[in-house]
Structure 1
Amino acid sequence: MAQFTFEGDFEILADPQIKLVESALQKKGFTNGKIVVEPVGQKGDNYIAHVKRFIYEAEDGTTFNMIGKVAPVAEQLRLMMNTMVLFNNEIVMYNLVLPKLNDIQNSAGVTDDEKVRFPACYGVVTEEPYEFILIEDLKEAGFEMLDKMKPLTNESVRLIVKDLAKYHSLSYVLKNSEPEIYESYSNKLSNLWAIVGAEPEAQQFFESGENDLFKMMHDVSDQYKNVVRGSLTQITPIAKKIQSYEKGSKYSVIQQGDCWNNNILFRLEEGKPVDDVMIDYQLSSEGNPAADLLYLIFNCTDHATRLEHYQEWIDYYNETLDHSLNLHGLKANHIFPKDQLDADLKRYGKQMVNLGVLLSSMLERESKDALDMRVMTGDKEKLWENTMAQMNASLLDISTIVKIRQRIMGIIDTALEFGLI
């Protein structure tokens, strides 16, 4: 019988989660040894899950690492955070969608250098409130997270754009070759932005955040103020309209959904990125590829880099999509033509600017100022009050406020420059 001992930061783990870790190790051929559990990242790196590194140490010195994403268990917090929705999305992606897309690549004989890489998944727990996802520790393969406070370079963005195009192409291949399976998977995924503002407290949070941002922009020109006004409060209504339009659209794919710095790991050579892996799929749902592209561009880069390379990125996406589809006997001109991509970028522009404005207030905060919803307690009303209090701009130092303002103005400048709003 396998004998494992746990040490370190494992107090929040429930029996189903511990059993999955042990089972995953047994499947790897390990039967005895120590499992050291360490927290991964710092406040502000992950807003939804507790992320842990499981370091297995065998008696003979053999080691093996895994990463676990642990759902919070407090009922009111789970309701407020839509934990069930987010973990269901990611479980569907890691358990069903990504393995299927990987099978499509393997069946077509796609070479390793042409493949989009997905983290290996060692198992999931679907039982509420103990949702748990156990995946490959990509640090072992040399991948690392870059500084989220620094905009990505053109070289880094091109790597991600290439992977997004490959990823979207696989979704199109699945939709064309096995439409029933594609529909089954997409129906299991939920668009968070279409449901997040349904409760009055959530709408109040958006209104409060929008007012805060508007105060930050008090001395800027009207072109910026006009975009910020209504930006947060319109996220859910616009998302519902988009969701209705995209459902069943021939151009829809299963989106990555949350392509920003902390959800992308890079492998570096001599300090330069040469490979990347997308790691977080909690916001995945059916939608348009343009949304993934703009989400990446607005939330991971600065205006100066966008001004120089935006069109190059769009063209590169289209070229890679066509090349990837060709590997499966399809053509971009028939599946997702360039003129459709250009039209959809404009159609999604307003919503992606809105999300960029919302996320600006979160992504520019130092760790000490970051919202940590995972440790909040109390009833739902108290949770919302605490969230709004923590996010209040009056608590920020002037340098952080300046960075938030500059990020928002840069997003708006980009959108205006390229006719996206």
Structure 2
Amino acid sequence: MITLLTINSVITATMDEGKQTLLDLLEKIAKEQKYVNNTVDLKAVSAGGSNITSALFLSTIRANDKPDLKLFAKVALLSDHVRKHSPMRCQFTTELYFYTKLKKQYERIQDKHNVLEDHRVRMPKLYGCCDKYLSETLVLEDLVAQGFENFDRQQPADLEYMTAAIDLMAKFHALSLAFHNDDPVSFKEASDTLTMDISKIEALVPVMKPKAMANALAATEGENREKLEKFFKQEPCLFVKFMDTFRSKKRNILVHGDFKPNNLMHRRRNGKLEIVLMDFQLVLDGDPLRDLLYFIFTATDEAFRRSHYHAILDLYHERLSEALRRFQIDVETVYSESTYRAQLEEYSMVGLTIAVILLPLVLVEEEDIPNFDDDYKMTDFVVQGSKLYKERLNGVINNYVEWGLL
């Protein structure tokens, strides 16, 4: 029997159907896990501004002679209006596909190649899901109960954290290359399913670009403003190369799409930092540099990049090579170092573009998060930069000036 003990205003009257879907799913999970005569505690939680599309819950299923089952649930918040006006594939459809299809393939491949625990990509265990439109729900293991915690998105990452996260990213990318080698037909199905129609996003550029540039210029200090204005006038415009990172380069790499600090959880165990990858709502057949550059420019500050930027770029390809060797794949045949270096040169300004377009939303104050109601517009994603954003943006510009690129 379900007993609803705690729930806050995150779920409103308009979310009644989603709430009932979650309760029904928890009851089903309790039966599947043989929790007889159970009770379920349910508590709505806030992500502190790091999640803007889902209502989040912690749940505990209890029964006599059984250990408490600690669960984490995500319930869709996006309305029909928002979905119809978004140029992107529905995030919940993507995440459900990842957990029910792709994750199983990845785990099978790691098992087949006897990948040791320390070298595996750790992803949350799925206990149950529902794909009902507007009430999509995922119930996963509760990593917080296992000692994991979220990275503070307002703080810059240090070298230990960046090294561990880049290693995780490389292993995640290597898995898709191994998947392709192992089962090209199934990989093509996944690739086709997760390919983004960039033309729909590009159509919004004329609408979103002026607001994004105006916000960035307003946050820019002193001589940096003139340098940024000059960058905005360059051709092709700042959005073009950035949009190119969404495209498949036929390298058979499925990228996370939203690889940033608050989509990672970590704990220290036996003196070692462990990181788990979360939130697979934007997985796509895209360019691996999308994950790499996005993570670097959302996770680090000016001082870190001044000391470690080029070393981190080297580290990614080194760790990708190591991960591929575990699957008996030669990196030079799938993503050679020369190709990688050439692509870094081609995308040399993408980091600055990320700072202009995406960093404001990553660092947004919780009270300034866009509302996804029936008045929602795509330009709502272009938020006013916080005080921290201003500091980080100017730091990125300073780095680009030091690197001789601006």
Structure-2-length-normalised TM-score: 0.87
Equivalent-residue separation in structure 2 for 1:172 and 1:340 (angstroms): 16
Q: 1:224-373, aligned counterparts within 5 Å?
A: 224-227=228-231, 234-235=238-239, 237-238=240-241, 241-243=244-246, 246-247=248-249, 249=250, 251-268=251-268, 274-368=273-367, 370-373=368-371
Task: Say which SS state the counterpart of residue 6 (structure 1) adopts.
Answer: coil
Quote how far apart the aligned CAs of 1:361 are. 1.9
Aligned to 1:108: 113
Residue 153 of structure 1, aligned match among 149, 154, 158: 158
Alpha-carbon displacement from aligned partner over 1:282-314 (angstroms, at most 9, x marks no partner): 121011222211111111011211121122222
User: One-letter code of the match for 1:361?
Assistant: P
The answer as to 2:2 corresponding to 1:4 is: yes
Q: How far apart, CA to CA, are the structure 2 residues paired with 1:17 and 1:138?
A: 19
Match of 2:45 in 1: 40
Letter in 1 for 2:377: W
Q: Call closer, same or farther: CA 1:195–1:419 in 2, change over 3 Å.
A: farther
The Cα of 1:80 is off from its aligned counterpart by 4.2
Q: Which amino acid aligns with 1:391?
A: V
Deviation per CA, 1:368-404: give whole Å up to 9, x if none. Answer: 3x3143xx433xxx3239937x9346xxxxxx44x32
| Aligned match of 1:405 | 390
Superposed displacement of residue 280, structure 1: 1.2
The offset of 1:194, in angstroms, is 5.6
The percentage of counterpart residues that share the same residue type is 22
Aligned residue for 1:54, secondary structure, equals: strand
* 1:189 alignment partner AA: L
Instruction: Provide the rounded CA distance (Å) in 2 between the counterparts of 1:408 and 1:266.
Output: 26
The structure-2 alpha-carbon separation of the partners of 1:241 and 1:363, relative to structure 1 and needing over 3 Å to count, comes to closer
Shift of 1:180: 1.2
Q: How does 1:133-144 map to 2 (within 5 A)?
A: 133-144=138-149
The one-letter amino acid paired with 2:125 is A
Query: 1 CA distance for matches of 2:31 and 2:234?
Result: 53
Residues 407 and 182 (structure 1), Cα distance of their counterparts in 2 relative to 1, 3 Å cut = same
Q: Name the SS of the counterpart of 2:346 in structure 1.
A: helix
- Give the distance between the partners of 2:311 and 2:2, measured in 1 at CA: 52
Distance in 2 (CA, whole Å) between partners of 1:211 and 1:177 is: 48
What's the counterpart of residue 396 of structure 1?
none
| Pairwise CA distance, 1:113 | 1.2
Question: Counterparts of 2:68 and 2:87 in 1: how far apart (Å)?
Answer: 36
User: Match of 1:133, SS?
Assistant: strand
Q: Distance in 1 between matches of 2:93 and 2:158?
A: 33
* CA distance in structure 2 between the partners assigned to 1:391 and 1:252 by the alignment: 34
Judged with a 3 Å threshold, the aligned counterparts in structure 2 of structure 1 residues 138 and 130 are, in CA distance, closer, same or farther, namely same
Amino acid at match of 1:185: A
Partners of 1:92 and 1:285 in 2: how far apart? 11
Residues in 2 aligned to 1:277 and 1:183: alpha-carbon distance in whole angstroms: 26
Post-superposition shift, 1:260?
0.9
SS, match of residue 66 in structure 1: strand
* DSSP-derived class of the 1:135 partner: strand
Cα separation, partners in 2 of 1:219 and 1:415, compared to 1, 3 Å: closer
